[in-house]
């Protein structure tokens, strides 16, 4: 067979030249496993990119996609509609926190974030507070790659080249290894970091700020969990200053923490939730913003009857095939109890298995919640900030896909994972980490 040509494809978030010297190619996937052409089997300990929550290649979803593509592949979603989009939206809001009963559809996490930021601006304007045009995000926050998302995001290389097109400032992140190393679940220390929001409100003035956006736990920033009480305090400060609170649950949603959404797990209800990834088990791109009735009604009431209330949307909003994939995904989540499975024995097993690596000399922190976790490594000076990538490459050779972020190995296995498979991941990582230098 001819050799694979890799020149034409400009790969995203990848060192193209290094990758193309020795491409790592996945040929197929099944359950929690990825397979190379050689037949070599790799455990997908990251569920793809934190998204294949029900495991790979679920027949039921594939069939729903196939049937929908044969029945209605596409029709305009501006001024016309198809039943499935309404049925799916009604079904989705059965899972969201009380009061978040409206859904705006896009095609990705990035589009969900842009949509949420625009909804926040539209809402502020609709209630006569048009000076509220800026946003508060947080360091280490990841909110996708579009201009709004990189502005509120807190990962420096993602916006340094592109300026900061949307007005935003950032709270401090909550990673504090010195005080919280080897916490199990939510860290004890750091609630006071929420007061950073008060500082930014005092600096900019509440009348300039439309919304605060944070991930309940930061994923792409390296699995940074909220200190106990921190999210509650953010909610209180937002209420005090009349700011909207957006939770970006693109990763933390759909069962990752042991509840459908981290909002429910951590007991804090935002005004909007952004969602994507696990919403369709990553089979067909789909993003969504869950919006409070208060916001929806305010925006509707402010527009004259017959006028478009919100000048925003995508050709593929509520794409029929994505809705069909989403419906079939919900069937699986429900039937297999996946949205709460991480709160049970498997989550406890994950915790103890990850923490069993704490005895290794070069492990300086283990963080976990539900079925997500990170192992922070002691990096040699010449590889600081890049040691995770080295560990990740070696883990791949050992048969585990784990994500290297900074000096950490981050994981979010499919929610169907079994205890012996977790043990297999940890055994393999023990070998990788103890040989690292």
Using CB under 6 A as the criterion, which residues of the chain lie in contact with ligand PLP when the complex forms?
49, 108-110, 113, 142-144, 215, 219-220, 248, 250-251, 276
Min. distance of Cβ 113 from ligand PLP in angstroms?
5
Backbone angles phi, psi at 148, to 5 degrees: -70, -45
Output the residue with the shortest Cβ distance to ligand PLP. 109
Q: Within 10 A of 416 (CB to CB), how many other CB atoms are there?
A: 21
Q: Which is nearer to ligand PLP, 176 or 215 (CB)?
A: 215
Min. distance of Cβ 287 from ligand PLP in angstroms?
6
Min. distance of Cβ 219 from ligand PLP in angstroms?
5
Min. distance of Cβ 206 from ligand PLP in angstroms?
25
Q: Which is nearer to ligand PLP, 144 or 373 (CB)?
A: 144
Please say whether the beta carbons of 53 and 278 come within 8 A.
yes
Q: Which is nearer to ligand PLP, 398 or 410 (CB)?
A: 410
Cα–Cα distances (Å) from 201 to 172, 209, 214, 241, in that order, read 14, 8, 16, 8
Q: Which is nearer to ligand PLP, 398 or 409 (CB)?
A: 409
CA angle 109, 115, 120 (to 5 degrees): 130
Residue 105 and residue 77: Cα distance in Å, rounded? 10
* Short-list 156, 126, 119, 369, CA closest to 244: 119
Min. distance of Cβ 272 from ligand PLP in angstroms?
13
Min. distance of Cβ 108 from ligand PLP in angstroms?
4
Burial class of residue 273, CB neighbours in 10 A (0-12, 13-18, 19+): buried
Q: Which is nearer to ligand PLP, 144 or 347 (CB)?
A: 144
* Short-list 360, 430, 429, CA closest to 46: 429
Min. distance of Cβ 205 from ligand PLP in angstroms?
27
Q: Which is nearer to ligand PLP, 254 or 433 (CB)?
A: 254
Written as six digits, the tokens of 315 are 């050709």
Min. distance of Cβ 51 from ligand PLP in angstroms?
8
Q: Which is nearer to ligand PLP, 266 or 394 (CB)?
A: 266
Burial class of residue 308, CB neighbours in 10 A (0-12, 13-18, 19+): exposed
Please say whether the beta carbons of 220 and 247 come within 8 A.
no
Written as six digits, the tokens of 374 are 């990170």
Min. distance of Cβ 70 from ligand PLP in angstroms?
27
Cα–Cα distances (Å) from 137 to 13, 275, 319, 362, 435, in that order, read 22, 17, 30, 32, 38
Q: Which is nearer to ligand PLP, 109 or 258 (CB)?
A: 109
Cα–Cα distances (Å) from 95 to 83, 88, 218, in that order, read 20, 12, 22
* Strands, sheet with 28-30, edge to edge from the N-terminal-most edge strand: 28-30, 33-35, 41-44, 400-401
Q: Which is nearer to ligand PLP, 155 or 327 (CB)?
A: 155
Question: How many whole angstroms from its chain centre is CA 437?
Answer: 31
Min. distance of Cβ 151 from ligand PLP in angstroms?
13
Q: In sequence order, what DSSP letters do the residues of 314-327 get, joined into one string?
A: -TTTT-HHHHHHHH
Q: Which is nearer to ligand PLP, 403 or 428 (CB)?
A: 403
């Amino acid at each position: 067979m001819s050799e694979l040509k890799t020149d034409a494809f400009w790969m995203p978030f990848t060192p193209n030249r290094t990758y193309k010297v020795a491409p790592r190619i996945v040929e197929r996937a099944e359950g929690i496993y990825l397979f190379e052409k050689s037949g070599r089997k790799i455990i997908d300990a990251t569920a793809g990119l934190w998204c294949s929550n029900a495991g790979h290649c679920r027949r039921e979803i594939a069939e729903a996609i196939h049937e929908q593509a044969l029945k209605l592949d596409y029709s305009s979603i501006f001024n016309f509609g198809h039943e499935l989009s309404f049925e799916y939206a009604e079904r989705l809001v059965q899972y969201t926190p009380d009061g978040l009963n409206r859904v705006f559809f896009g095609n990705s996490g990035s589009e969900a974030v842009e949509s949420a930021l625009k909804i926040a601006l539209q809402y502020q304007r609709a209630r006569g507070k048009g000076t509220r045009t800026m946003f508060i995000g947080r360091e280490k926050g990841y909110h996708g790659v579009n201009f709004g998302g990189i502005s509120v995001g807190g990962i420096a290389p993602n916006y340094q080249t592109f300026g900061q097109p949307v007005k935003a400032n950032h709270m401090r992140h909550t990673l504090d290894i010195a005080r919280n190393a080897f916490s199990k679940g939510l860290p004890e220390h750091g609630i006071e970091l929420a007061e950073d929001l008060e500082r930014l409100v005092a600096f900019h003035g509440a009348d300039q700020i439309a919304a605060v956006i944070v991930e309940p736990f930061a994923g792409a920033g390296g699995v940074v969990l909220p200190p106990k009480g921190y999210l509650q305090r953010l909610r209180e400060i937002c209420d005090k200053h009349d700011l909207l609170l957006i939770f970006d649950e693109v990763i933390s949603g759909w069962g990752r923490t042991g509840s459908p959404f981290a909002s429910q797990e951590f007991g804090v209800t935002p005004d909007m939730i952004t969602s994507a990834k696990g919403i369709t088990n990553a089979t067909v791109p789909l993003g969504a913003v869950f919006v409070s009735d208060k916001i929806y009604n305010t925006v509707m009431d402010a527009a004259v009857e017959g006028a478009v209330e919100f000048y925003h949307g995508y050709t593929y909003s509520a794409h029929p095939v994505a809705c069909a994939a989403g419906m079939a995904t919900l069937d699986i989540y429900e039937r297999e109890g996946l949205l709460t499975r991480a709160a049970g024995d498997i989550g406890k097993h994950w915790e103890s298995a990850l923490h069993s690596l704490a005895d290794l000399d070069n492990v300086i922190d283990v963080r976990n919640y539900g079925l997500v976790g990170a192992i922070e490594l002691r990096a040699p000076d010449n590889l600081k900030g890049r040691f995770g990538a080295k560990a990740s490459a070696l883990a791949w050779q050992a048969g585990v896909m784990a994500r290297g972020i900074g000096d950490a190995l981050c994981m979010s296995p499919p929610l169907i994972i079994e205890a012996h498979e977790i043990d297999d991941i940890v055994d393999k990582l023990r070998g990788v980490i103890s040989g690292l230098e």
